[in-house]
Chains A and B, each alone.
Chain A
Amino acid sequence: MSDLDDFKATYFDECSELLLELEEQFAAIEGGDRSNDRLNAVFRAIHSIKGGGGAFGFSDLVAFAHAYETLLDKVRGGEIPLTDDVAALCIHSNDVVADLVNAARTGVPLPPEYGADEKARFDALCSGDDDGGEPIEEFDIDFVPVMVNFDDVSEADEESADEEMVEAEADSDAGSDEPAVDRSGQWEVRFRPHSELYARANDPLLLFRELASLGQMTVTAVFDEVPPLSDFEPFGVYCEWQMTLVSPTLTEAAIREVFEFVDGNCDLEVVDLGSIGKRPPSRPAAKAAATEAADDGEPLPSFADLADTVKASTPPKQAFIPIRAEPMTVKPAVVGDAAAAAPAASEGEHRNGVQSIRVDLDKVDRVVNMVGELVITQSMLTQQMDDNLRARYQELVRGLEVLAQTTRGLQDSVMAIRAQPVKSVFSRMPRLVRELAQKTNKKIRLETIGENTEIDKTVIEQLSDPLTHMIRNSADHGIETPEKRAAAGKSETGVIRLSAEQAGGNILIIVEDDGAGINRDKVLQVARNRGVIGPDQQLTDEQIDQLIFAPGFSTADAVSDISGRGVGMDVVLSNIKKIGGSVHVRSWTGRGTRMTLRLPLTLAVLDVMLVRVSHNPYVIPLSSIVETMQTARAAFERVPSGGRVLQVRGEYVQVIDLCERFEMPSSVDEKNRFVVLCEAEGSVKIALVVDDIIGQQQVVIKSLEENFESIEGIAGGTILGDGNVALIVDVQGLKTGTLHRNAA
């Protein structure tokens, strides 16, 4: 059944999220945060896994989750202290739950006793006083259409409805002196609601309806205690009911079950007339408003009439109002009817008021793309406005300004839809660090900061692998063994700090450790041996650090169980570059290493400067541009290698002529060209020489790799407002490309 499969898919989806949440909570709990919020969240997660699992009959999972939940409940209730042992048991149990969920998903059974040890420990901890896992009995009510026999109720005329109410001394034929009649299968129910019953929106009429389904029923309203109108309390309860039910199979339990929801909110007497053989004192001798029979022939008021009578002065509880004679011919619980009864309910399920929706990412992306195009069209329109038009059509100009503003707002809103907190990635890391610490026999504490920072969903998805690798690297190569740390006068426990923050148009993800720092001599040696750099090439410390990301650097020495899984840090770099980010590493000998991932807030739209190289338009991401100047005013200097450098405020900056680099002839005089000073990673500047600067605008990034192939120095392409294609300059790529080129 496909519906069920859908539900299952949703369930397993949800389980994955809940398991992640468990990881996260226990990481915090392990870190010393034993607040109730944490425990409650853990309890909720297990509870939800159990709840959903029950729906699909995953009995192993449910049984384990139930036992686990019982323990958690006692822990959060303070009955069982959350010792390290208990926490360890819980963490282990999370794995068991994960395995059970997985077994349920794949249908591959686990050994029959799987999780039995943990369960035994739960039981031992709970000292067996668990009140048993047996679920509450479910309702077993069938709304079989049962006709209530009202034949013997004469349809009533209205009595003079004074406060005396109805003088229906309708003590029926059942004369009290009548000798023992067989009354087996006859029940009398006396029901007196308390005001709480109404306060909880229970409705006597519904109870009658349900009772009527049990057998032939008559209902009598008893108005003994109705006060004079002047004393009427709006929320007072003055009415009680007396019912007789006839059915050969009826039991007291069945009758009481109808009142299950109102137990404690009413006085209820259930009397088996059959068992006592004679009729118990009938309803209070007093005035009854309606009776099942009126042999004196005096017409009695119907329920409807009664209701009308009472309505005037009773609390406006629905309960009183809809009592009519016919509805007592209880209908089956036909839902269609119910829907028809609410004409407002429209056919389709239009779900107003839904607070959040799950939308296919493709749909969001379509909107993102369209907004991107809109942004471009808008900037194109703005470009078309020359001074002449501006002077002539001021209203139009103003309109365009508003349009620009609205477009930007729209763009931000659309991007916000895709944004997610980095928490979803960060929360996987505590476990990783725990495992790493165990494997390496080191003491490592993970600190996370800024996990609510939001980034584009696509970026987040691409973040997990690089981050995992970086943390592995820190744990394996960065943090020293406790002995070494102690010898170096550091605390035995090493700290890896994982943080996220927004910085301008970028998100910075920083992985920092307080370990030994990068061993530069070794890195340099390896890099030389592997030909990553030339044998005589001199590098600054920073450049050496950066080498760990160089392709082909990954060292055999470094291959260990942990970080050397055949994947070097160069993969981290290329993954990050793929999503438009960059990585920078800094290290302090003996004090630690900091790796900074700089990621774009969004992948779709980029603020750029449009430049001309030869006859072609190129764009340079605005975020990397520091300043621009005319070549005529730039202080170039030649260096012995033949290259040029630019002196900017005492700093020498490498110059890359984009015409030369892309092998195209320059179209203008050297002195009329422009220098665009850019900042690559690690505050390394680079000066790009271009033929002209055209302007600033926003572009939608189109991937080149998807359609063509990856080109060094080019990050992608875009379509300009006039339909021309422009390539996006990859500043970082040019920089490192040049480095490798020189090295080669």
Chain B
Amino acid sequence: MRVLTVDDSRTILAMLHHTLSSAGFEVLQADDGQKGLDVLAKERVDVVITDINMPVMDGIEFIKHVRATGAYNSLPILILTTETSQDKRDQGRAAGGTGWIVKPFDPEKLISVIHRVVH
């Protein structure tokens, strides 16, 4: 199973990579939404994990773009969020996000949340 992780924080990307790859996922990375789209244009992925606050193209825009692409109608997208407000999540979901993961994440929980949205 391939996971695309999109985050402008190298720390978060590295931790996601470690957690996911040691759980047997294949991990692709992008450090902003635009690069995330570039990856999706070339690669098949099973699930996307994206941050919201990013330069160039933020997570909300990224999700909107993904959903606007026919091929990705049913691609599960998890929003990584440290936001304590419901607002951000609602915004993410309104854009087409499938679910969310709260930072900082516990490795086991991360995996279980992924399994909540992919087979």
Shortest Cβ gap from B72 to chain A (Å)? 8
Residue interface bits B6-17, CB-to-A below 8 A is 1, else 0: 001111101101
Give bound CA distance, A185 to B25, whole Å.
Answer: 37
- Contact of A135 with B84 in the complex, beta carbons under 8 Å: yes
The residue among B54, B104, B117 with the most chain A CB atoms within 10 A of its own CB is B104
Q: Which residues of B contact A205 (CB under 8 A)?
A: 119
- A355 with B84, Cβ < 8 A, contacts A7-B18, A47-B53 known: no
Within 8 A of A (CB), among B78-109: 81-85, 93, 96-100, 102-106, 109
- How close is A639's CB to chain B, nearest CB, in angstroms? 62
Contact between B98 and A333, CB atoms less than 8 A apart: no
Shortest beta-carbon distance, A450 to chain B, in Å? 21
Pair A52/B109 contact, Cβ less than 8 Å: no
Counting CB contacts under 8 A, is B61 at the interface? no
Q: A282: shortest Cβ distance to chain B, in Å? A: 29
B112–A143 CB distance below 8 A: yes
Give which listed residue, B67, B103, B113, contacts A55 with CB less than 8 A: B103
Query: Quick check: B117 and A136 within 8 Å, CB to CB?
Result: no
Distance in angstroms from A259 CB to nearest chain B CB is 11
* B84 in contact with A138 (CB, 8 Å): no
Inter-subunit contact B28/A352 (CB<8 Å): yes
Least CB separation from B86: chain A residue: A136
Q: How far is the CA of A338 from the CA of B69 in the complex (A)?
A: 25
Q: Are A202 and B27 in contact (CB under 8 A)?
A: no
- A346, B26: Cβ atoms under 8 Å? yes
Contact A48 B111 (CB under 8 A): no
Say yes or no: is A64 at the interface (Cβ < 8 Å to chain B). no
Known contacts A14-B11, A134-B84; A201/B74 CB under 8 A: yes
The reply to whether B111 and A335 form a contact with Cβ atoms under 8 Å apart is yes
Q: Which of B11, B42, B46 has the most CB of A within 10 A?
A: B11
Residues 335-358 of chain A: 1 if any B CB is under 8 Å from the residue's CB, otherwise 0?
110110110111001111111100
Docked complex: A182-205 residues within 8 A CB-CB of B: 198-203, 205
Complex Cα spacing A59 to B53, Å: 21
- Is A131 at the interface (CB under 8 A from chain B)? yes
Q: Mark B36-60, 1 if CB is under 8 A from A, else 0.
A: 0011001110100000011100000
Q: Considering the complex of A and B, which 6 residue pairs feature the smallest CB-CB distances, nearest first?
A: A339-B24, A261-B99, A52-B11, A54-B104, A353-B39, A11-B11
Alpha-carbon gap, A724 to B47, bound state (A): 59
Interface size on A, residues (CB 8 A): 64
**Residues on the A chain within 8 Å of B102, using CB:** 135-136, 138-139
CB neighbours (8 Å) of B14 from chain A are: 6-7, 10
Residue interface bits B58-70, CB-to-A below 8 A is 1, else 0: 0000000001000
Q: Are A199 and B96 in contact (CB under 8 A)?
A: yes
Asked if A51 CB lies within 8 Å of chain B CBs, one says: yes
**B residues less than 8 Å from A74 (CB atoms):** none
Q: Assess the A41–B115 pair: CB atoms within 8 A.
A: no
- A385 contact set on B, CB distance < 8 A: none
Whether B104 lies near A333 (C-beta < 8 A) is no
B residues neighboring A (CB under 8 Å)? 1-2, 4, 8-12, 14-15, 17-18, 21, 23-31, 35, 38-39, 42-44, 46, 53-55, 67, 73-77, 81-85, 93, 96-100, 102-106, 109, 111-113, 115-119
A333 adjacent to B28 (CB under 8 Å): no
Residues 314-352 of A contacting B (Cβ, < 8 Å): 317-319, 322, 333, 335-336, 338-339, 341-342, 344-346, 349-352
Contacts of A43 on B, CB cut-off 8 Å?
Answer: 53
Which residues of A are found within 8 Å of B67, using beta-carbon distances?
A: 199-200
Question: Which residues of chain A are near B28, meaning CB under 8 Å?
Answer: 351-354
B67 to chain A, nearest CB (A): 7
CB proximity of A597 to chain B, nearest CB, Å: 30
Bound Cα distance from A47 to B18, whole angstroms: 22
Give chain B residues whose Cβ lies under 8 Å from the Cβ of A317: 74
Q: Which chain B residue has the least Cβ–Cβ distance from A70?
A: B84
Q: Let me know if A345 and B96 touch, CB within 8 A.
A: no
Report which of B1, B38, B105, B109 forms a contact with A338, defined as CB distance below 8 A.
Answer: B1
CB distance from A415 to the nearest CB of B (A): 24
Q: Are A352 and B75 in contact (CB under 8 A)?
A: no
Report whether A139 and B11 are in contact in the complex, using a CB–CB cutoff of 8 Å.
Answer: no
Q: Tell me, rounded to whole Å, the shortest Cβ–Cβ distance linking B1 to chain A.
A: 5
A–B Cβ pairs within 8 angstroms, 25 of them: A3-B18, A6-B14, A14-B10, A51-B12, A55-B104, A133-B84, A138-B102, A138-B105, A139-B109, A139-B116, A141-B109, A141-B113, A199-B73, A200-B67, A203-B76, A338-B118, A345-B2, A346-B26, A349-B21, A349-B26, A351-B26, A353-B43, A354-B28, A354-B39, A356-B35
Decide: B10 and A13 in contact? CB cutoff 8 A: yes
Q: Is A50 an interface residue (CB 8 A)?
A: yes
Convert A155-197 into 0s and 1s, putting 1 for each residue whose CB lies closer than 8 angstroms to a CB of B. 0000000000000000000000000000000000000000000
Q: Would you call A7 and B24 a contact (CB within 8 A)? A: no
Find out whether the CB atom of A201 lies under 8 angstroms from the CB atom of B112.
no
- Tell me the nearest residue of chain B to A352, going by C-beta: B43
**Is A709 in contact with chain B by the CB < 8 A criterion?**
no
Q: Are B96 and A206 in contact (CB under 8 A)?
A: no
Q: For residues 39 through 88 of chain A, which have their beta carbon under 8 Å from a beta carbon of chain B? A: 41, 43-44, 47-48, 50-52, 54-55
Q: Which residues of B contact A200 (CB under 8 A)?
A: 67, 77, 93, 96-98
Task: For B27, list chain A residues within 8 Å (CB).
Answer: 349, 351
Q: How distant is B54 from chain A, measured CB to nearest CB, in Å?
A: 7
Which chain B residues border A136 with CB–CB below 8 Å? Answer: 81, 83-84, 102
Within 8 Å CB of B85, what residues of A?
A: 131
Is B82 in contact with A342, judged by CB distance below 8 angstroms?
no
Query: CA separation between A530 and B104, bound complex, in Å?
Result: 63
